[in-house]
């Protein structure tokens, strides 16, 4: 599939978002202008093509027009061709194949129809008009129908000729602003659970730069962290990072722009925004939700199992304590209020799945905790008197003799 205005972007060395977030964002956006086929290359080619069309009209003067009108006609022709070329760049290869096939079949049908007109007694002018009209109508119908039905082509039946395009289309991932600021997507990509082509839209990069330039210190810190995450992703060798310069001036919301961009590239959206997840799913777009992935990777705990937790604070109910697992799962423990700031063993009683995540409920058994502790060593009894100690060599030390009454 042809991609409009998207090229590889690699980070420039020595740019730190903490030192200069504006420079880091400009570096990310300007990195898209380092290869052939960028905006400036296409602009130069189009200007040359326009100049050639204007010169050809000025020199050949079609329809016996004056040189000024002929030059204007050449300019209008060049603009029409450029607009048509821009529209074709957004079309998939299957649609292009369908449009070309439909046009060829339409032209062939118009030619056969014109052969029938030559064997009639119609006047030459009428026959020429009908032949041209049939040619235009059938070519137009073939073009439109072929383009609309092009997605139904079975590319596998063609020997996998376009298999690379199909796999490349389904490997596109569009990053949302929220998931970039969140930062976990970099760890997911580093673990190679995210592959293919990662698309960073220009409007998302602009929104991230605005957050990094905010007067609010919290927002500014979040924006800088997002720029750091982008630079970390760009350094990963197994990912192909692209800056998409597609704009949608008629759409104001960033979420709707992401949906339209995903439709254009047939890509998946990587996000952790609940609302964007629902809206995009309703429109048939695949979503990679980082929060759902995190919930799926949480450890499975069954009632009756024993686990060791650190009681962090007291709960809302009486005599409850609250602990947290390493992945952030909340654990509510009964009878553990007095064990705050201590690590205890609890017994899981139930597990509940909510919209915010998973909650584990457990019970702390103080009697079981005391029974499991080793008994302290017994202290020597002072009233029992001194114990006899074996002398070296296995001999007993002599006991002290006390005089008994009645003996001399």
- Could you tell me the residue ranges of all domains in the chain? 35-151, 165-296, 306-370
Measure the N-to-C terminal CA separation of the chain; round to a whole number of Å. Answer: 122
The predicted-structure confidence for 298-329, as pLDDT tens digits, reads as follows 778 888 899 899 999 999 888 899 999 887 78
Task: Give the confidence band of 24 by pLDDT, cuts at 50, 70, 90.
Answer: low
Model confidence, pTM: 0.47
Domain spanning 306-370, CATH class: mainly beta
Strands 239-244 and 6-8 turn out to be: antiparallel
The total number of residues shown for the chain amounts to: 408
For 165-296, the fitting CATH number among 3.40.50.1010, 3.40.50.300, 3.30.460.10, 3.40.630.40 is 3.40.50.1010
pLDDT tens profile 257-275: 999 999 888 899 999 988 8
Q: Higher model confidence: residue 364 or residue 23?
A: 364
Q: Which residue has the tokens 């003067």?
A: 61
DSSP letter at 106 equals H
Which band of pLDDT confidence, cut at 50, 70 and 90, is reported for residue 121? confident
> pLDDT tier at 291 (50, 70, 90 boundaries)?
confident
Number of H helices, E strands in the chain: 14, 11
153 vs 27, higher pLDDT = 153
Q: Which residues of 319-342 are buried (b: 16+ CB within 10 A; e: fewer)?
A: ebbbbebeeebbbbbbbbbebeee
What band does 224 get if pLDDT is binned at 50, 70 and 90?
Answer: very high
């Amino acid at each position: 599939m042809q991609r409009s205005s998207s090229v590889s972007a690699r980070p420039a060395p020595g740019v730190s978002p903490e030192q200069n977030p504006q420079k880091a964002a400009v570096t990310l956006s300007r990195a898209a202008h380092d290869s052939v086929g960028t905006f400036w290359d296409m602009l130069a080619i189009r200007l040359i093509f326009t100049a050639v069309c204007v010169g050809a009209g000025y020199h050949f003067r079609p329809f016996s027009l004056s040189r000024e009108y002929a030059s204007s006609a050449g300019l209008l022709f060049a603009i029409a061709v450029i607009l048509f070329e821009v529209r074709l760049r957004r079309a998939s290869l299957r649609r292009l194949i369908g449009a070309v096939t439909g046009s060829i079949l339409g032209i062939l049908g118009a030619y056969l129809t014109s052969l029938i007109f030559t064997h009639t007694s119609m006047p030459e002018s009428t026959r020429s008009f009908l032949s041209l009209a049939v040619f235009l109508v059938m070519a137009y119908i073939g073009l439109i129908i072929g383009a609309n039905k092009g997605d139904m082509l079975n590319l596998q039946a063609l020997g996998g000729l376009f298999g690379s395009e199909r796999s490349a289309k389904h490997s596109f991932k569009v990053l949302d602003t929220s998931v970039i600021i969140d930062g976990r997507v970099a760890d997911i990509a580093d673990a190679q659970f995210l592959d293919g082509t990662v698309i960073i839209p220009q409007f998302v990069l602009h929104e991230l730069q605005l957050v990094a330039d905010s007067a609010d210190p919290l927002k500014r810190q979040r924006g800088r962290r997002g720029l750091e995450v982008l630079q970390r992703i760009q350094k990963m060798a197994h990912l192909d990072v692209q800056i998409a310069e597609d704009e949608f001036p008629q759409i104001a919301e960033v979420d709707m722009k992401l949906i339209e961009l995903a439709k254009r590239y047939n890509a998946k959206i990587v996000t952790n925004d609940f609302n964007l997840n629902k809206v995009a799913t309703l429109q048939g777009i695949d979503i990679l939700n980082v929060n759902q992935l995190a919930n799926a990777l949480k450890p499975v705990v069954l009632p009756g199992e024993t686990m060791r937790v650190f009681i962090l604070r007291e709960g809302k109910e009486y005599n409850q304590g609250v602990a947290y697992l390493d992945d952030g799962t909340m654990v509510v423990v009964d009878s553990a209020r007095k064990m705050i700031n201590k690590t205890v063993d609890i017994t899981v009683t139930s597990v509940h799945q909510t919209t915010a995540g998973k909650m584990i409920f457990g019970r702390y058994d103080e009697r079981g905790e005391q029974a499991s502790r080793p008994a302290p060593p017994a202290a020597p009894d002072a009233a029992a008197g001194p114990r006899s100690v074996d002398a070296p060599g296995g001999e007993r030390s002599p006991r002290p003799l006390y005089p008994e009454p009645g003996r001399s």
